[in-house]
Chains A and B, each alone.
Chain A
Amino acid sequence: MQISRHIEALYRDESRRVLATLIRLLGDFDLAEEALQDAFTAAVTQWPKEGIPDNPRAWLVSAGRFKAIDRLRRRARFDASLEELALRFEQATEMPDLDLSVEDDRLRLIFTCCHPALSEQARVALTLREVCDLTTEEIASAFLTPTPTVAQRIVRAKAKIRDAGIPYRVPEKSELAERLDSVLQVIYLVFNEGYFPSSGDAPTRADLSGEALRLGRLLLSLLPEPEVAGLLALMLLTEARRAARTDDAGDPVLLDDQDRALWDRSLIAEGESLVERALRSRRFGPYSLQAAIAAVHAEAARPEDTDWEQIVGLYDVLLRAAPSPVIALNRAVAVAMRDGPEAGLTLIDGLLAGGGLDGYYLARAARADLCRRAGRIEEARAAYRAALAMCQQGAQRAFLEKRLAALDVESRAP
């Protein structure tokens, strides 16, 4: 009884490490997954009789490898080419130094699942499946996608890894920055889908954000690069506001209107120390800068205490590091907070005319809010309607409707 509970705990804590090593040894995701299941099945039958081995992880890797050779032998009866493969695994008898290489294996697994040769959707699904051990059903329900679609994405991604020769290794220094971008993008995408769902009616999905935070912590422990610290800080500082981000009815609450007493101070403290660490390195990038902006917000006890001068300055640096219309929009909103709504509207109207924000409802919503603050109520109403026409997400739509209705009250006030 106690052994079976021990094995369950071991599966939870070690199965991804064992899988990562088996993929390296066997060179095939599917074979490694079968081998992992075989190894744990063997543990369940053998350990109660023989006792728990001194190094359970090494035992599981070794058992998995031999079970994979058995499987290949059985299949070799139908496909002779597999015999050669089985023989090669068998002859590679020297076991790798497990404790030294095993963390590298987890990093290899992350970089392979997030390779830019795979589509973004495939990277997300494969990472959640292989690195986080979410089931295909769990991934499907988190992304409100049919299970067969997610299953298909994972199958195709594995086929591409095999057919295109995507290597199972940590990128060399010269390619690390670019490859790391692709990994960070996947983690942030998972976090954002949990924090600002793109569809459905729930305002947030804590389960996905939790996975992203776990991934971020794991990656930072394996690869302590400044931008990894920056991304983790950004996620922690955003996560810290979760309780304040929705009201009792589940509707979103804007940053200015949030009850700051609900912000999670311990997450903020952890996020702030990571931001400082990233900025001190002087090798920081867009994630660290966005985290720094979030940290400035976190420092303000009340909205009116916010240091907008510093925020605009950080957006200036961010816009140079990663030029994008969305960042320019956020900068325009910060400028409006520092210099007044008209200054922000001039910037936003320039951005909208540039066309880079077509179909982006938050640009219309930002314009609506600045028009309202500038007393241009009719323009605000038109902008909220334009935003509603572009927004599909239930909670966000309800929020926009409420702001639109509030305008009528405001315009009737003396």
Chain B
Amino acid sequence: MKYLCLVYAEEASLHSLPDSPEDDECQAYADSLAESGRMLGAEPLESVSSAVTVRVRDGKTSVTDGPFAETKEQLTGFYLVDARDLNEAIRIAEGIPPARVGSIEVRPVRELQTEKPR
């Protein structure tokens, strides 16, 4: 079985609570999972303010700022892609078939700010 674990947190306080995780801790956990052979892929994301939403209706692509999935829409899958820049990421997103009926949120992956080089 494959499982996708989704990380939900309040962005505003994620890095400032007494028990907030440090990037080094996240990196160490990811490394240990990778060593155990159980990790297929994991990435932290940039702030939600860097998000764009892509929809395709009647063959026309619309790009809007922000994560604007409708509240009745649920997460139904994900793609982790490597694109040259946001324009290419948007072109990939508009090709994802559910873009025609739902919406694809595009979020840049963040680099962990670790002390040790990876």
Contacts and interface: CB of A to CB of B under 8 A. Distances in A.
B61 A160 contact: no
A171 interface: yes
A166 B63 CA distance: 13
Given A117-B52, A164-B46, A164-B52, A178 B87 contact: no
Contact of B87 (A118, A122, A175): A175
A167 B49 contact: no
Nearest to A171: B87
5 contacts: A122-B65, A159-B49, A160-B65, A167-B86, A178-B63
B85 A163 contact: no
A266 interface: no
Given A116-B65, A119-B66, A167 B50 contact: no
A354 interface: no
Contacts of A171: 87
Interface string B104-116: 0010100000000
Interface string B77-93: 00000011111011100
Interface of B: 46-47, 49-52, 60-66, 83-87, 89-91, 106, 108
A413 B79 CA distance: 72
Interface string A179-210: 00000000000000000000000000000000
A165 B64 CA distance: 15
Interface in A156-173: 156, 159-160, 163-167, 169, 171-172
Given A163-B108, A164-B46, A164-B108, A119 B86 contact: no
Contacts of B89: 165
A296 B47 CA distance: 50
A219 to B, nearest CB: 19
Contacts of A159: 49-50
Given A118-B65, A164-B50, A164-B86, 10 more contacts: A115-B86, A116-B63, A122-B65, A160-B49, A160-B65, A165-B86, A166-B87, A167-B87, A178-B61, A178-B63
Contacts of A122: 65
Nearest to B65: A119
A172 B85 CA distance: 13
B108 A165 contact: yes
A85 to B, nearest CB: 15
Contact of A175 (B62, B84, B91): B91
A175 B46 CA distance: 25
